[in-house]
Structure 1
Amino acid sequence: MKAGDEVPALERTIGAADMIAYAGATWDWHRLHHDDAYLRARGLDRPVVDGQLFGALLAEQVQDWLGPDARLRRLRFRLLSMVFAGESVRVTGVVTGVVTGVEGSLVTVEQKVLVAGRVAAGGTAQAVLP
Structure 2
Amino acid sequence: MKTRRFEDVSLGEQLPALEIPITVALITGGAIATRDYFPGHHDKDAAQQLGSPHVFMNILTTSGLVQRFVEQWCGPEGRLQDLRIRLGAPNYPGDSMTFQAEISAIDAASRTVELSLKGKNSMGNHVTGTVAVTLPGQQESRA
Say if 2:19 and 2:97, in contact at 8 Å, map to a contact too: yes
Say if 2:27 and 2:55, in contact at 8 Å, map to a contact too: no
Match of 1:84 in 2: 92
Match of 2:19 in 1: 11
**1:5-61 CA-partner distances (Å, limit 9, x unpaired):** 001111111211112321232111210012222122223221111122221111111
**Structure 1 residue ranges (4+ consecutive) displaced by more than 3 angstroms after TM superposition:** none
| Alpha-carbon distance, 1:116 to partner | 1.3
Cα RMSD, aligned residues only: 1.4
Residue in structure 2 matching 1:108, options 103, 109, 114:
114
Say if 1:54 and 1:113, in contact at 8 Å, map to a contact too: no
Runs of at least 5 residues in structure 1 that lack an aligned partner in the other structure:
none
Match of 1:43 in 2: 51
Distance in 2 (CA, whole Å) between partners of 1:41 and 1:17 is 20
Say if 1:57 and 1:91, in contact at 8 Å, map to a contact too: no
Distance in 1 (CA, whole Å) between partners of 2:108 and 2:84 is 21
| Residues 85/113 of structure 1: CA separation in 2 closer, same or farther (3 Å cut) | same
Say if 1:46 and 1:85, in contact at 8 Å, map to a contact too: yes
Q: Which amino acid aligns with 1:31?
A: P
Runs of at least 5 residues in structure 2 that lack an aligned partner in the other structure:
1-8, 137-143
Q: Does 1:59 align with 2:71?
A: no
Distance in 1 (CA, whole Å) between partners of 2:66 and 2:47 is 27
What secondary structure, in the 3-state scheme, does the structure 1 residue paired with 2:32 have?
A: helix
Q: What is the aligned residue count?
A: 128
Distance in 1 (CA, whole Å) between partners of 2:114 and 2:51 is 39
Match of 2:102 in 1: 94
| Alpha-carbon distance, 1:117 to partner | 5.7
Q: Which amino acid aligns with 2:32?
A: G
Distance in 1 (CA, whole Å) between partners of 2:11 and 2:123 is 25
What secondary structure, in the 3-state scheme, does the structure 1 residue paired with 2:107 have?
A: strand
Distance in 2 (CA, whole Å) between partners of 1:100 and 1:77 is 24
Bigger CA drift: 67-76 or 37-46? Answer: 37-46
Alignment identity in percent?
27
Q: Which has the higher strand share?
A: 1
TM-score by length of 1: 0.90
Distance in 1 (CA, whole Å) between partners of 2:45 and 2:67 is 33
